[in-house]
Amino acid sequence: YAATGFPYALVGVAQPLNELFAVRADFGSIAHHAYSGTTSDNDFKGNIDYNRGALLGDWFVAGGGFRLTAGATFNTAKATMTASSHDGKISLGGTQYDAPSSVYYVTSDLSFPKATPYVGLGWGHHAGTPGLSFNFDLGASFGTAKATPLKASPALASELALDQQGSADLAQENRDFQDTVHKFKAIPQLTFGLGYRF
C-alpha cells in the first residue's frame, strides 16, 4: 500500500491474520523540508529531516474495515533552528540587542526519540477480495523532543560579552526555548492512500 498526507508520504505491506487482526510494516519520509517565519521579536528558519519506519498491529473491532492500531515507530528525526534579527534587533531573554545583519543569530539542533510508541485508528488493510483498496490513518508517535542549548554566532557572542547582562539573557532565552521544545510530545499522522490485495 501507499499513502500520503501529514507529515510524510509512505509505503508499506499489510498481512491480515484473520477477520479481526492484521500486522503491518511501513516506511515514511520527508526529506530536507525547509521552513521560515517571523515573530514580533525575531526571524527564524531551519530544516527538517524525518524518516520513520513502523511495525504495527491492527484490530478490526467489528470485523469490517474500521480498526484500532498500536505499535512502534523507529525514527530518524532531526531539525535545525536559527533565530536572527528582526528590524535590526534580536530579542534574548526579553532584552533587545542590536543586530544589524544576518551574522547576528542563535542556533540549535532538535531531535525526536529514535523509538516511540504509536497509537491510532483508521480504515483498511483488512481481509477482503483481491483488488484495489482504500486506507486511512489518524494517530501519533509519542515522545518528547529535545534540543541542544542555544549557541550565539561569533558576532552576537562578541556583543553579548560587552553587556553585563548578556550571558544571563542568553541563558534565560535558552530556558524559554527548551521549555517550548519539551512541550512537543508527539508527531501526529493523518494519511490517505490506496493498496492492492492479492
pLDDT at 134: 96
Average pLDDT over residues 164-193: 95
Q: What digits encode the pLDDT tens for the residues 27-64?
A: 999 877 898 998 878 899 999 999 999 999 999 999 89
Q: What digits encode the pLDDT tens for the residues 143-153?
A: 999 999 999 99
In the chain, pLDDT over 70 holds for what percent of residues?
100
**And the C-alpha cell for 85?**
534579527
pLDDT at 63: 87
**All domains in the chain, ordered by first residue:** 2-197 (2.40.160.170)
- Nearest CA among 72, 137, 149, 153 for reference residue 105: 153
Cα atoms in the 13 Å half-sphere on the side-chain side of 107: 15
Contacts of 15 (CB under 8 A, 6+ apart): 22, 23, 24
Contacts of 107 (CB under 8 A, 6+ apart): 80, 81, 82, 83, 150, 151, 153
Model confidence, pTM: 0.87
* Inter-residue contact 82 to 37 (CB < 8 Å): no
Q: Residue 23 pLDDT > 80, yes or no?
A: yes
Cα atoms in the 13 Å half-sphere on the side-chain side of 151: 10
- State phi, psi for 162 to the nearest 5 degrees: -85, -10
DSSP 69-126: EEEEEEEEEEEEEEEE-BTTEEEETTEEEE--STT-EEEEEEE--SEEEEEEEEE---
